[in-house]
Chain A
Amino acid sequence: MADMSFVNDFRTSLSENWKRVLIGVVSVVSFILIWYLVALRLHTSGSVKAQFLPYPQDVARALVDSFTRIDPVFGVLMPTLIENSLERIIIGFMLAFAVALPLGLLMGAVRTIEDIGRPIVEMIRPIPPIAWTPVFMFAFLSFWGPIAVVFIGAFFPILLNIIFGVRSVDPVLFDAARSLGARRRDLFTKVIIPSVVPYMMTGVKVGLGIAWMCIVAAELLPIKGSGLGNYIWTWADIGQFDKVYAAMIVIGILSILTTGIAELLERRIYKWMGMK
């Protein structure tokens, strides 16, 4: 009986997952079909805008070529460009996390520090990361410049989510911990930090997404060690938009992968901490 129940549950689960997969596939195929039809309309009507929307099969070919043929401008294959962009994103993001985590915890837990930091945060936060690009590029030059842009993009989502997380800790938990003899350090490590983790991970995922957006702007200006953003700007300037779209697809996939890794990490952390 127990086995039959398991089999039925498995069948139901499989059937539901297959449905979702099928819906997803149909959605993607429909999108590509619409893309093809719009491109066909533009190209056959002789529209001057046609070259800005290449056919999906041309983009697919450019994507494959970028991995299999040395690029005539960059002299490398796509994995090298991915590596260069990833390096900037990882360094920029890790720096943002390393600064935002302790600062967020402090600002969230100590009212005076928040009062000092909040006006400055609220002044700088609304400035789009892209607006910092020319400043950082000329101040920090070609290696640290793009990393600084990624840093500023990822920093504020992480910081603000952590502050919010600390502020959202149920006061009842503090009282309960204190009544059980918890000291200040225990309150921090055993009450605040576990409560902040979900908010921190939200900030991490948002920050990662913004970091990927920043890399294209960051790599617009002179850099050493070409990357995906640089590739997009260069081939757009030359006028081969199939390559531009191919690089955009690579960025999209990498963004999904990095966010997926963050979600996996989040689930592991929750499991480890015995959280839902």
Chain B
Amino acid sequence: MDKKGIIISVAVVAALIVAGIAVAYLYKPSKESTSVEYVVVAPSKMDAWLAANQTEAYIAWEPYVSSAVVGGNGRVLEWTNEIMPHHPCCVVVASNSFISSSNGLEMTQRFVKAHADATMWINDALAHPTGANYGKLLNISADFTQRSIAVVKEAFGHLEYGYLMNDSFKAALSTFTDTYRNDGFITNDTFHKAGYSSSADFVNDYVNMSYIDELSSVEPNATIINPTNAIRVGYLTGDLHQVAQAVARNETVLNGKSIFEEHGLNVVPALSQGYANGGTEMNAFIEGSVDIGYLGAPPAILNKINKNANTVIIAQANSEGSGIVVGVHSSIKTLEDLKGHIIATPGETSIQHLLLKTALKKVGLTLVKA
């Protein structure tokens, strides 16, 4: 074939390829018209993404909701307690390997006691905003979240802290498990292979009430039980839901001694900057880098079943405290208005994502990846 023929052949092939791509593009099946698209963004970046019009909304945990509101960049479309009132959010999870280690049971019991004391201290501080402890709480929280006092003050108005695990708590976890099973995040094959007959059966096995039940018998102890092998505590970066562990580690709370020290515990962060999300923290549990951790209930559930994480839930950390944020001048006024828009979520395994899906389903919308 001569050069001219080759050039013509290449041109024809190129034209066919371009035409093929154009046809495929034009006739690409579009997502359902009842869908809301999402992208996964770290909560600390969501405000910036909203401001840059990369997304039209986001759902996050505090203080990342209040940071947009106080900063004048966003307004809250809906709080998650409007989707599911008093929904459990973060829990305290312990590694079974840690519990069965030397003094592990004792350390876990004392940890839960310290967590309970810190939680009660927080609630007392919030109930007395003119008291000295309220100022301490604001400072600890601002430092932990790297947000201003004004932001954490606003955020505390939407949070509930509690450590008890009652029947409604367990029922909510069962609902989360059912949702994951229905949505295909947990296959029936995997679920039954793990030995569970129902979601309620799973929750009863996964939630260990004994540490809460024994709280009244745990007294402060001046002797540090683990001076050389500190408990490695995990938490999410700047997550105000989990401020109880920051309070329990802080030495200004008891005027020179931390609540953990009060109960004879040496506790250090497993990762100083915190974990990006619950899934990452559960991976750290699986690899043995975390002994006790604070994270959302859904990733604790998913990883227990799908990745066979050797963990157990030992206390609640908080309930509610997340919200859907839109731009302050946005035309989005209702959940239905989210149709056809893009929203940022912390990830498929977060409780925020799960609640968003639930909320959208109620108004006839589906959540799909952008």
Contact = CB atoms under 8 A, between A and B. Distances in A.
B35 A75 contact: yes
A83 B28 contact: yes
B8 to A, nearest CB: 13
Given A72-B184, A238-B185, A239-B303, A222 B52 contact: no
Pick from A50, A74, A222 the residue with the most CB of B within 10 Å: A222
A146 to B, nearest CB: 12
A206 interface: no
Contact of B39 (A50, A223, A239): A223
Contact of B344 (A51, A80, A141, A222): A222
A48 interface: yes
Nearest to B46: A222
Interface stretch (A149-157, A224-232, A248-256): A224-232
A237 interface: yes
B28 A80 contact: yes
B327 to A, nearest CB: 17
Given A51-B307, A238-B185, A239-B306, A76 B39 contact: no
A202 interface: no
B283 to A, nearest CB: 9
B296 interface: no
Contact of B370 (A83, A225, A272): A225
A2 interface: no
A264 to B, nearest CB: 12
A141 B302 contact: no
B308 A50 contact: yes
A238 B35 contact: no
Interface string B72-83: 000000000000
B306 A83 contact: no
Interface in A19-44: none
A74 B368 contact: yes
A234 interface: yes
B252 interface: no
Given A72-B184, A72-B185, A224-B342, A237 B347 contact: yes
Interface in A147-178: none
A80 B29 CA distance: 9
B31 interface: yes
13 contacts: A48-B308, A72-B183, A72-B184, A73-B185, A80-B29, A83-B24, A83-B28, A224-B342, A225-B370, A237-B349, A239-B306, A240-B190, A272-B6
Contacts of B185: 72-73, 238, 240
B184 to A, nearest CB: 4
B171 interface: no
B142 to A, nearest CB: 25
B241 to A, nearest CB: 20
Interface in A35-90: 48, 50-51, 72-76, 80, 83
Interface in B135-174: none
A189 B358 CA distance: 64
B39 A142 contact: yes
A230 B303 contact: no
Given A73-B348, A76-B31, A237-B279, 14 more contacts: A50-B308, A51-B306, A75-B32, A222-B40, A222-B49, A222-B344, A224-B39, A224-B370, A226-B369, A226-B370, A234-B348, A234-B369, A238-B185, A240-B187
